[in-house]
Amino acid sequence: MNFLLASSNTHKAQELNELLAAGNLEITSAAQKIDVVEDGKTFQENAFKKAEAYFKEFKTPTVADDSGLVIPKRPDILGIHSARFAPECGDYQDKNKRLLEEISALKNEERKAYFVCYLCFYLSSEEVYFFEGRVHGTIGHEAKGTDGFGYDPIFYPDGQGGKALAEVSEWKMKNSHRAKACESAVKFFKEQK
């Protein structure tokens, strides 16, 4: 099955192709980006809005993902606004510093967090499927590692011996929030054959 990615991000399309290969699902990035207002209150709503908009524009089955970092003790930051956090910061290195400052008063047990990914496969207005993946961990006190992107250097996944996500790229490829959502999608689409 072929799906158009509701994004022109070729890196994301490549990553999804690797994660969805076992299900014979092929992802192509859109030739052009369309503006979608992501004003949903949940990751699921925003993934749906993107998938539906690209489906209507390109008239082909689409897949969209919406993901982010959630800190339950600080629901007022990040979450569905993860990518838009601290827009005045030039890059994620600065955003990470800002985030660490924002939560500096939190005790270690209050720094629990999780990355979440919602995938929306939009085949038609009557056939829409959602898959969720999460990876749990803690926000560290410093950035570590050079692999990964976004908040990976300050997110320390559970069970990784105090290493940041940016230090365990091989583990991340198999166990990230996106990998888990893709694994559920592969299982589902295999069962549909």
Residues labelled as active-site residues: 66
Partner residues linked to 128 by β-bridges: 122
CB distance 167 to 147 below 8 Å: yes
Partner residues linked to 60 by β-bridges: none
CB distance 62 to 76 below 8 Å: no
Which has the closest alpha carbon to 22: 193, 163, 165?
Answer: 193
- Hey, how many other C-beta atoms are within 10 angstroms of the C-beta on 107? 7
CB distance 112 to 155 below 8 Å: no
Report the b/e string of 53-88 with b at 16+ CB within 10 A: bbbeeeeebbbbbbbbbbbeebeebbbbebeebbee
Q: Which two tokens stand for residue 183?
A: 């694994």
Which has the closest alpha carbon to 36: 14, 69, 5?
Answer: 5
Which has the closest alpha carbon to 135: 172, 177, 82, 183?
Answer: 177
